[in-house]
Structure 1
Amino acid sequence: MKKLTYMALIAASFIFASCKKDNYDAPTAGLSGSFLDAETGGLVEQDIIRGTTIEIIEHGYTAPQYLIVKNNGTYDNSLLFANTYTITPVRGNFAAVAAQEVSINGQTKLDFRVTPYIRVKDVNIVKNGTKITATFKLQQTVTNNVKKIGLYAHPDARVGEPMRLVAAEQELNAVTDPNHVYTLEIDLAANTGTLKPGSQYYFRVGALIDAGEAKLNYVPAVKLGV
């Protein structure tokens, strides 16, 4: 009986120790900002899935952390420890930018001025009868081929190539003429099982450059009733 009581006291001491509050301070710093077109000053739109990420390495540690860039081209993480970090955007839809060393103390803002691979311009997305029609132009900033263009539909405003119910895509695999007007259409009558008549959906145009891990370039989504 004494032995059992002694064992119970040891077990209780372990449980009590495990319930004690740790001595680590909670993260009190944060990093936020935007990806801005260096020429136009506008936000560089992204995919929320498999889009641009930001690699951050806290000095004194080797394992990187990753911040996800929102579909509108902004990002925000308010749960970082005050320290110096090496910060590098990776796998983006813009020309590579150099890593930066940033002292994060409190809520720190860091904007990236970048050159998108493609600017999707003069976009018009409308409903014409039983079709959603998108017209637009493309301005390349690099000499690589434009791999494909697409018009994507989804009930969420974060619609894009990896997040769509319906897509109308066209393979180009060519350098584009900045004056050419491209047209993509989604046939609503052929997609009534997916795009429910009387409902509203978001439609978004994107274009993909043929370069390594490049991601699509976009314009803001347009909400239309079908």
Structure 2
Amino acid sequence: MKRTIVLNLTVGILFLCSCELDNYATPDIVLEGKVIDVSTGEAIQTRQPDGIKIRLIDEGIISPVPYDFWAQSDGTFRNTKIFAAKYKVSALQGPFEESSVTEVSLDLTKNQTITIKAEPFVRLTNVNITKSGNGIKATYKISPTTSPKKIQRSMLICYTSPILHENTNGKLSSATNILSGMTNGDIAAREFVDEIKNLQAGETYYARVAVLAANSLNRYNYSAIIKIIL
């Protein structure tokens, strides 16, 4: 009986101590923003998940562990569970030259909105994606950037969900434009016309253009996702 009373008292004391030790502020600061093209100011489109990683490094800690989370497919990001601290914020593993990324220093004591600039591997311009009969048609141009990455291929892709990227299971694609044998000048001078035909009437599709420049992670540059109702 005495042993039981002593054990209960010991557990109670430990419980109270643990409550006191764990009495830290909860992470409730919101950090949001977008990753943009350093030249045009437009959001860098990507895949989601595994498209652009946002990394926070706590400057107040020796040998800090990076805090990473993913951006959305339109290049925007939002995290509502961050501790107040001084951080360096950067973007990596996206369809851009990591050496071009502008690191942002933050004293994060309140909710903040930021932009992170980077040089994309390629730029898609004059993009027009429309319904065409029983299919979807895209016209666009590809503008090389200062990136040395060789442009490999492009195509129009679509799916019945807005979760749309090169590895989406069940996605549909136009014929692939093989660009590896073309010069950047020839690519820039060409207007591309891609089409996906014989789609289901009455169905809603999501479509975008995808362009690959050779890179170790096979990250594509994309146009914005467009909703098409056939």
> TM-score normalised to the size of structure 2?
0.81
CA distance in 2, matches of 1:164, 1:204: 15
* Alignment partner, residue 221 of structure 1: 225
Deviations 1:168-204 (A, max 9, x none): 2524324442121223222325xxxxxx432111111
Of the candidates 148, 167, 171, which is equivalent to residue 172 of structure 2? 167
1:76 is matched with 78
Which residue identity does 2:152 align to in structure 1?
Answer: K
1:157 equivalent among 146, 162, 185: 162
Structure 1 residue 91, shift from structure 2 partner: 0.9
CA shift in 2, pair 1:164/1:39, >3 Å: farther
1:184 corresponding residue in structure 2: 194
Q: Look up the match of 1:193.
A: none
Which residue is 2:48 aligned to?
A: 48
**Rounded Cα–Cα distance in structure 2 between residues aligned with 1:124 and 1:29:** 39
1:87 to 2:89 alignment: yes
- Cα distance in 1, alignment partners of residues 35 and 103 from structure 2: 14
Shift of 1:118: 1.0
Distance 1:162 1:14, change over 3 A: farther
Gapped regions of structure 1 (runs ≥ 5): 190-195
Provide the residue aligned with 2:24 in structure 1: 24
Pick closer, same or farther for the CA change 1:114–1:11 going to 2, 3 Å.
same
**Shift of residue 221 of structure 1?**
1.5
The answer for the alignment partner of 2:36 in structure 1 is 36
Identify which range, 98-107 or 86-95, moves more after superposition. 98-107
**1:155/1:6 Cα in 2 relative to 1: closer, same or farther (>3 Å)?**
same
- TM-score, normalisation: structure 1: 0.83
CA distance in 2, matches of 1:200, 1:172: 30
Query: What's the Cα RMSD here?
Result: 2.6
1:147 corresponds, among 144, 147, 152, to: 152
1:116 is aligned to 2:123: no
Return the letter of the residue paired with 2:158.
Answer: A
User: What is the one-letter code of the residue matched to 2:24?
Assistant: Y
SS in 1 for 2:48: coil
1:121 is paired with a residue of what secondary structure?
A: strand
Looking at structure 2, the residues matched to 16 and 143 of structure 1 have their Cα atoms a distance apart, in angstroms, of: 59
* TM-fit CA distance, 1:165: 2.9
* In structure 2, C-alpha distance between the alignment counterparts of 1:88 and 1:69, rounded to whole Å: 12
Aligned residue pairs, count: 219
Q: What is the CA deviation profile of residues 88-131 of structure 1, one whole-angstrom value per residue up to 9, with x for unaligned ones?
A: 21112122215443221211222122222111112222233333
Give 1:14 deviation, angstroms. 7.0
